[in-house]
Amino acid sequence: MANKAVIFTFIIFILCIGMQVVLAVPDVSIPGISGVVKPPDVVVPSGPSLVKPVSPVSVSPVHKPVSGIVSSPVMSGASGHETEAESVQTAVATQNVSFENRSFAPDRVIVKYKTSGISTQSSLSQVQIEANAALGASVIADATTLGITGMQVVSVPNSTGTEKAIQLYKMNPMVEYAQPDYIYHAFPVTTVPVQVNQNAISYRESTISGKVNEPSAQIPVSPAVPVTKAPVTSGAKSSFVTVNLSNYDEYTTSTTGTSGQTATMSRTMLPSVSASSASNDPYVGYLWGLHNTGQTGGTADADIDAPEAWAVSKGSRSVIVGVVDTGVDYNHPDLKANMIGGYNAITGTTNPMDDNGHGTHCAGTIGAVGNNGIGVAGVNWYVRIMPLKFLDSSGSGYTSDAIEAFAWGYARGVRIFSNSWGGDGTDTALQNTINQYSDALFICAAGNDEVNTDVYPQSPSALPNANILSVAATDNRDALADFSNYGAKTVDVAAPGVSIYSTYRGGSYGYMSGTSMATPHVAGIAALVKAVNSGYTVAQVKQAILSRVDIKSGLSGKCVTGGRVNAIGSISSGSSYDFYVGDFNGDGKNDIASVSKTSSGYKWYLDYSGDGGTDKSFIYSTSAVSWDNRYIGDFNGDGKDDIALVLKTSSGYKWYLNYNCDGV
């Protein structure tokens, strides 16, 4: 019996030695189940037709001063299927990837120390120095650039590794949390941008020809057919010639000629307001997300109602939107006037030039200069765009650089951040940072994996912060895009995100698809809301967007609101005025109607010239019921818009039509 006890004790001793040996071996790569990683936004060739998103492509590693990249198996959905490129990445991984099966820097850790109970900064610094010394870690970034008290990014020895260092930091009672420096992606693909000759397409140039002695010659011209020279049929006389070019402003001029001669005049024709959705930008017709007439084969009015919003506000240069992305081509002719200085968190410099294209595309949707005769128009014609670059030329970047970009922008006035990037899982450091900037709104792409983010959470879009607004993508028929993520609890709204035309690096333009493209539509609306209601809080701006969506049956259960965003509704929400757009005087141009509730009833103000003045006013009064349900349309076919009021009575809904816009 004694011999058995000795043998048993010896076996236990050997096992203990074996455990110690195992614990001393460096971490190895242990593939886990695949996480949900967003595939690339889709970039397609020029032309306004819809294009189905293509399969995701592999993303090259981030170029940072670290020894390698830790990668986990990834997939384009939730199936766990690996591409060949992804398998190669996994094979060369040098560290354990058990942290939510995500890619991260192999030799860096983000550490957040507790600040409560520490009386002075010097005490906090001493705690950090001692903790870092114990692990042989060196500080890469601290609160000075990160903007978060008690936060540091540290480099740890390769012999220790990221995960072991995190475990050791967590053992320190003064550490609030420690985590990897995760990698995020903007999902880039090889692009085929549309090259544009700005000088050639600024306006349409036509030759105007006519016969003298016809004082008001009306010459219809087809935009697709050049105007030919017409002979002068009488003696030398001066005569007026008028050209009516479809979709362009009428132009009248005079000429002198003699019999047998040909009089030719050239004129740069300006697109008419009605034809160009209140913008003379030649490619504005491609922007179905702003104004959808069915021009791309979609459903009319499956858009954000941008022209209706522009009748009230085209934005304000007192509003700054931070585009947290791959940078922005700040020299782009369609963006330059709306750009302000930004930051490059990768290099630590103030040169955030876009070396990818993704960020420039997003910036154009938010704020390409409107009515400048070139390219496109953004949701805001006037706004300040601050490029905050943390994603490199491959579209990849780190948590720590995103945090640094947030801090730099926030310190310089950004209160609306547009974030067309993300990754799977929960990023505590990112959540902590966004919480700190509680008076800023973070609009975030929901992702392109066709997954429910209630089940497969994403960062930052699905983080539980009150100041995050998560965006899914819709197509030109108001259906959820086939690639878009969704979530009844974690996705707030939807916005146009399929075949979106916008600015691209190098002064060009191109189409892209993705929730990355939907996000700047919403960021642009948020900027419009602030332009109209400068005193609004984050909660009020967010509520204005959420409360005035266009409800769509296909979005029911797919997002919190069940709707696609609406710009005119959002800027009217909560205002002392409601705004409507219509041709109330029959001159062929849209007018602005403002409605205000007074003690006598609802007073209407009509502005025919769009100059902020009042050309006509009237009041609908009643002591029994309110006139809250209002509709605009030409109900009697006289070419002028009328006002319809709908009242709920004991017998049903009663309609009142006012043809003369006079309150009667």
Among the residue ranges 24-28, 556-560, 606-610, the one predicted with the least confidence is 24-28
Res 627: pLDDT: 54
Q: What is the pLDDT of residue 2?
A: 47
The answer to whether residue 12 scores a pLDDT higher than 80 is no
**Mean pLDDT (whole number) for 445-456:** 95
- Burial of residue 398 (number of CB atoms within 10 Å: 0-12, 13-18, 19+): buried
Query: To the nearest 10°, the Cα dihedral for 415, 419, 424, 425?
Result: 0
DSSP bridge pairs for 156:
none
The answer to whether 358 is a known catalytic residue is yes
Flag whether pLDDT at 70 surpasses 70: no
Question: What pLDDT, on a 0 to 100 scale, did the predictor assign at position 608?
Answer: 82
pLDDT (mean) for 109-136: 90
Provide the pLDDT for residue 588: 84
**Percent of the chain scored above 70 by pLDDT?**
67
Per-residue pLDDT for 282 more than 80?
Answer: yes
pLDDT above 60: residue 415:
yes
| Average pLDDT of span 611-626 | 62
Residue 442: the pLDDT is 98
Is the pLDDT score of 66 beyond 70? no
**Which of 15-24, 71-80, 541-550 is the most confident on average?**
541-550
- Alpha-carbon distance 398 to 417, whole Å? 17
B/e letters for 299-312, b = 16+ CB within 10 Å, e = fewer, are eeebbbbbbbbbbb
Quick one: which H or E segment has residue 359? helix 358-367
| Catalytically annotated residue among 459, 484, 516, 572 | 516
CA angle 575, 464, 34 (to 5 degrees): 135
Q: What pTM was estimated for this model as a whole?
A: 0.68
**Mean per-residue pLDDT, 357-373:** 96
Confirm whether 492 is a catalytic residue.
no
Output the pLDDT for position 237. Answer: 47
Min mean pLDDT across 25-34, 152-161, 256-265 is at: 25-34
pLDDT at 617: 72
Region for 427 from its dihedrals, namely left if φ exceeds 0, alpha if ψ lies in -120 to 50, beta otherwise:
beta
240 has pLDDT over 60: no
Q: What distances in angstroms separate CA 206 from CA 70, 128, 272, one per listed residue?
A: 60, 72, 15
**Phi then psi for 377, rounded to 5 degrees?**
-130, 145
End-to-end distance of the chain based on CA atoms, in angstroms?
110
612 band by pLDDT with thresholds 50, 70 and 90: low
Are 399 and 430 in contact by the 8 Å Cβ rule? The answer is yes
Task: Identify the weakest region by mean pLDDT among 68-72, 238-242, 330-334, 617-621.
Answer: 68-72
What integer pLDDT is reported at residue 215 of this predicted model? 33
The Cα 264–Cα 252 span in angstroms is 13
Query: What integer pLDDT is reported at residue 630 of this predicted model?
Result: 80
Comparing 109-113, 273-277, 535-539, which segment has the lowest mean pLDDT? 273-277
Amino acid, single-letter form, for residue 451: V
Select the more confidently predicted residue: 341 or 584.
341
Of 76 and 238, the one with more pLDDT: 238
325 assigned to active site = yes
Domains 104-182 and 284-571 share a fold: no
In the predicted model, is pLDDT for residue 86 greater than 60?
Answer: no
Q: Going by CATH, does the domain composed of 284-571 fall within 3.40.50.200?
A: yes
Q: Tens of pLDDT along 178-224?
A: 999 999 998 533 343 444 433 332 222 233 333 333 333 333 333 33
Q: By percentage, how much of the chain surpasses pLDDT 90? A: 52
Q: Given this model, what pLDDT does residue 264 score?
A: 52
Question: Is the Cβ–Cβ distance between 348 and 140 less than 8 Å?
Answer: no
pLDDT of residue 89: 30
pLDDT confidence band for 290 (50 / 70 / 90): very high
On the question of pLDDT at 568 being above 70, the answer is: yes
pLDDT beyond 60 at 245? no
Q: What is the pLDDT of residue 601?
A: 67
Mean pLDDT of 300-313: 91
pLDDT of residue 287: 95
Higher pLDDT among residues 109 and 123, named by residue? 109
**Averaged pLDDT, 441-470:** 96
Per annotation, catalytic residue among 358, 418, 470, 521 = 358
| Amino acid 607: pLDDT | 79
pLDDT at 349 over 60: yes
Read off the DSSP letter of residue 41. Answer: P
What is the pLDDT at residue 378? 98
Mean of the per-residue pLDDT values for the chain? 75
Buried b (16+ CB within 10 A) or exposed e, 174-199: bbbbbbbbbbbbbbbbebebbebeee
pLDDT at position 68:
31
Q: Which of the four pLDDT bands, split at 50, 70 and 90, describes residue 241?
A: low
Lowest mean pLDDT among 231-240, 253-262, 377-386, 503-512: 231-240
Catalytic residue among 325, 427, 550, 578: 325
The predicted pLDDT at position 40 comes to: 38
Q: Which tokens sit at 465?
A: 């912060």
The owner of tokens 């450091």 is 429
Tokens at 47, concatenated: 């032309």
Quickly state the pLDDT bin for 69 (edges 50, 70, 90). Answer: very low
- Is the pLDDT at 169 greater than 80, yes or no? yes
The residue with greater pLDDT, 329 or 73, is 329
Which residue ranges make up each domain of the chain?
Answer: 104-182, 284-571, 577-658
Checking DSSP bridges between strand 396-398 and strand 382-389, what pairing results, if any? unpaired
Question: Of 48-62, 230-244, 390-404, which one has max mean pLDDT?
Answer: 390-404
pLDDT of residue 455: 97
From CA 89, how far away is CA 106, in angstroms rounded?
13
Q: Which residue has the higher pLDDT, 193 or 298?
A: 298
Name the burial class of residue 619, with classes exposed (0-12), middle (13-18) and buried (19+) by CB atoms within 10 angstroms of its CB: middle
- Out of 3.40.800.10, 1.25.10.10, 3.30.70.80, 3.20.20.80, select the CATH number for domain 104-182: 3.30.70.80
